[in-house]
Amino acid sequence: MPRSLIVAMMERIESLDDLFNIALVNKRFYMIFKVRELYMIKNALFKMSPPAWELREMSPPWETEWATLDSRVPEYTPTTYLNRYATDIYTLARLKSMILVRCSPFLRRDTIRGLSGVDPIRLEEVDDAFWRIWTFCRIFGSGKGREDDLEWQVDWLKGGTKARNRTGAVSTMIEPFGINDVLFEPPEGFARGNHDGLSQKQMYDMTEIWNCLAVLLQPIHAKCADARAVGIFDRMDIAVGDAAREQSALGK
């Protein structure tokens, strides 16, 4: 079988499981897969879930979530990419189980079916809402100075139309989380998880899950001492005892 045909087959695969299975067909398949392993993994994830793919694109593999943003941006390897995606899946599963316990009384019935895995189609829609909230917070969340940048937030919801139309606006992820990059030069992958823009139903899904996440966070709002003890304020330049700023930070 020609190499080009094998590559084309791998590029059409729509799940990571199928990708890894076809890579093990024989030695030739495996060697071709290894040459472009990270590309193939990313491609398969995008076909599985564009919103999950975008979260990884907007999340360089820092050693910790609080890594210094002006330090050198690390590059993914196939191993680190799969490890981080596995962590994403685990986190998502934990959040869904917590929301089912805490928020069922005010969730829509179809959302409950999705969270519990009874309805596969609704499950995918709910998962997409989680991925999109996560990505939105990664790009525009607290501590990045982008909370009020409504222009780019709206463009992200619309699928990045403005970002794609700007000459030279889409860059590679050299410094994707510098102070101005996402605001004025969106990195490659910006809003691709939203296709051509989110529908009203998709935005309602995000709002519903967002409200549930707020419910989960309510118990920590007044526990500044506990937050200090586990290091929440370590990189926020908030003095010990500054209750007003501590409460504000937890509220965000």
Give 48: exposed, middle or buried? Use CB within 10 Å, 0-12, 13-18, 19+.
middle
Domain hosting residue 250, numbered range: 223-252
Q: DSSP characters for 39-61? A: HHHHHHHHHH-HHHHHHHHT---
What does the pLDDT read at residue 235?
65
The pTM assigned to this predicted structure is: 0.83
Query: Which of 65, 62, 83 is closest to 73 using CA atoms?
Result: 62
Collapsing DSSP to helix, strand or coil, 160 comes out as coil
Domains identified in the chain, total number: 3
pLDDT tens digits along 105-134: 999 999 999 999 999 999 999 999 999 999
Domain match, 195 and 251 both = no
Domain match, 120 and 37 both = no
- Rounded to a whole number of angstroms, the distance between the first and last alpha carbons of the chain is 55
Domain match, 152 and 175 both = yes
- What the block records as the tokens of 72 is 């050198």
Domain match, 4 and 58 both = no
Give the pLDDT mean for 205-221.
87
Domain match, 21 and 137 both = no
